[in-house]
Amino acid sequence: MGAVADTISSKRSSKITETRRQHHSGKKIIGFLRRRAYFPYVGPLSVWIILFVIAPLGIIIYYSFLRAGPSGNIIAVFTLENYRALFNPTVRVVFLRTFLLAFLTNLICLIVGYPIAYWIVMYGGRWKHRLVFLLIMPSWTCYLIRLYALKTLMGYSGLLNAVLLKLNLIQAPLQLLYTPGSILLGLVYAWLPFMVLPIYASLEGLDPLLLEASSDLGANSFERFFTVTLPLTKGSLFVGSLLVFIPSLGDWLAPLLLGGDKVLLAGSLVEHYFLKQGNIPVGSSLATFLTAVVLLALYVVIKFAGQDALERVL
């Protein structure tokens, strides 16, 4: 009887092992098929990123370690001399000014954008989609044209000075252009929708039952906002900040048109080295440093807002 029992037990163990092996093989096949199914969607995107993001960035980093010849030609000799430009006092001031303006742009867009998104979601009613459409509609116009329009409005004889003179608020036209304030206004005007839209999407997806539950527990409107609404939309704040901070950091068109030659930012400095001086290696080193700052900003978003925040950006 013992031998029969051992035989039966051995057969059962063999069947169980075979079943597990088949199940494991089936999971491998299913995983392979799933990867193949996703490839038509992920494959082209990966090729696009490699060709138009990673490859150009690699070329810029490569050039940043080469020398520039007297006539602007690139000499294939390894050097770290180009990165000394980062310690130049003038370059240091330019970068500090750039970081400050990008931070202020982000802060103003956050302070202005969150109430706009909150009001549209909570009180927009059937006009919500129309209000969002009006918000993003200026972005359909060329960025250059919008900046020229803003420059015309802020000019010495522009509409803004004319209104202030008409209201007797000033006695003479103000010099609004070619100042850090004019650049800040242009950056906020250009990138404000990129702060509002993620916050709007996050507020729109908020479960109203949570707000009702907090009210039932005795929370007033102020407490409900800071204990329920704001924590649940924290990720959208990081996403909006990322979408505003990065383009503000590298923008060179707004400083060129609204700041002229009086206010120089990092993007304008890179453009100066590339196009005016023809010193591509030094310009590449500055661009590499800006890229490192952008990657640091991405890390901060992933660290404090979670991976889902990065997925919203992508």
Note the pLDDT of residue 289.
Answer: 93
Note the pLDDT of residue 17.
Answer: 54
Note the pLDDT of residue 69.
Answer: 82
**Please, what is the angle between helix 180-204 and helix 89-123, to 10°?**
40
Mean pLDDT of 111-140: 90
Note the pLDDT of residue 41.
Answer: 55
Residue that wins the pLDDT comparison between 4 and 276: 276
Q: How many residues does the chain have?
A: 314
Cα–Cα distance, 61 to 279 (Å, whole number): 14
The residues pairing with 75 across neighbouring beta strands, listed in sequence order, are 67
Residue 195 pLDDT exceeds 90: yes
**Percent share of the chain, pLDDT over 70:** 83
| Residue 5 pLDDT grade (very low, low, confident, very high; cuts 50, 70, 90) | very low
Residue 115 pLDDT exceeds 90: yes
Structure-derived torsion over alpha carbons of residues 121, 122, 124, 126, reported in degrees to the nearest 10: 90
Cα–Cα distance, 184 to 180 (Å, whole number): 6
Task: Say if residues 106 and 248 touch (Cβ distance below 8 Å).
Answer: yes
Residue 300 pLDDT exceeds 90: no
Note the pLDDT of residue 24.
Answer: 52
**Percent share of the chain, pLDDT over 90:** 28
Task: Calculate the alpha carbon distances from 42 to 34, 37, 74, 251, 306 in Å.
Answer: 12, 9, 37, 30, 22
Mean pLDDT of 223-247: 88
Mean pLDDT of 246-271: 87
